[in-house]
Amino acid sequence: MLLKDRVAIVTGGSSGIGRGIAIEFAREGAKVMIADIREDPRRGKYHETDVSTTTVEEIRKLGSEGRFLQTDVTDAAQLRCLVEDTVQWQERLDILVNNAGRNFRGDSQSLSIKDWDDGVSLNLKAVFVATKLAVPHLKRSPHGRIIQISSVNAFGGGAGPVYASAKAGVVNMVRDNAIELGPHGVTVNAICPGYIGTALQDYLTPELIEKCHQATPLPRLGTPKDVGRLAVFLASDDAAWLTGDAIVVDGGMTSRAYL
């Protein structure tokens, strides 16, 4: 097992990409704290239509340990409790995955200032705060890992001003943290997914989903497991000399010069 007995926090771990990462961590022997605003998984109208079990239930089916803590990642006090409760539970922390986030739709004129503030708070500030609180514990781990979930939208527009800006900020935060934490043996990397089939895609139309499918060179859309397996690699000893990077997992979508 690549992550046997390592302790991980996964924010936004009840559904979608976070759930996929948590399950793959557990498959490799990790003990996982799931942080989310709700424990029940979201069901989508296009993807994840039949999800019923909680992530913790799936972790236990794999023979590993999991716990859920209701957490609003935009609340610094709740993030502090998350880190402290995890360390109290397992007496260590080895891996932090900042996955919680979502898009806020609108362009420069239709997006409200409140939505801008909320989008930055969720997609960028929360990543900074959780990282800040976890770092002292990760420095004490012989396998300290930080994995930030960004997006292919970090490298281009089209998803609205706040999401693209925040995800680009996450990528540069990764580079800065990698420089800071490298001397302590803690690696910091970002995963930048393309289209992943989750319930968060419910705001799209079937026509837009098909357009994404046609724009993806590989003959299918992405799944949470695709991101989860990459996260396993980054959390494992196999990636011990990889830090400060932003790895795209998008089935080749961004390989095109135009869509």
| Residues with active-site annotation | 163
Alpha-carbon distance of 113 to 168, in angstroms, equals 19
**Can you give the C-alpha Rg of the chain in angstroms?**
17
- Sorted by sequence, the CB contacts under 8 Å of residue 168 that are 6+ apart come out as 150, 154, 155
Burial 110-126 (b: 16+ CB within 10 A, else e): ebeeebbeebbbbbbbb
- DSSP H helical ranges for the chain: 16-27, 55-61, 76-90, 113-120, 126-139, 161-181, 206-215, 224-235
Cα–Cα distances in angstroms (integers) from residue 244 to residues 186, 190, 241, 252, in the given order: 11, 8, 10, 22
Alpha-carbon distance of 129 to 75, in angstroms, equals 9
Which tokens is 93 given? Answer: 């922390």
CB 222 within 8 A of CB 194: yes
Classify the C-alpha dihedral 226-227-233-235 as positive or negative. Answer: negative
Distance of alpha carbon 178 from the chain centroid: 17
Which tokens is 227 given? Answer: 């991101």
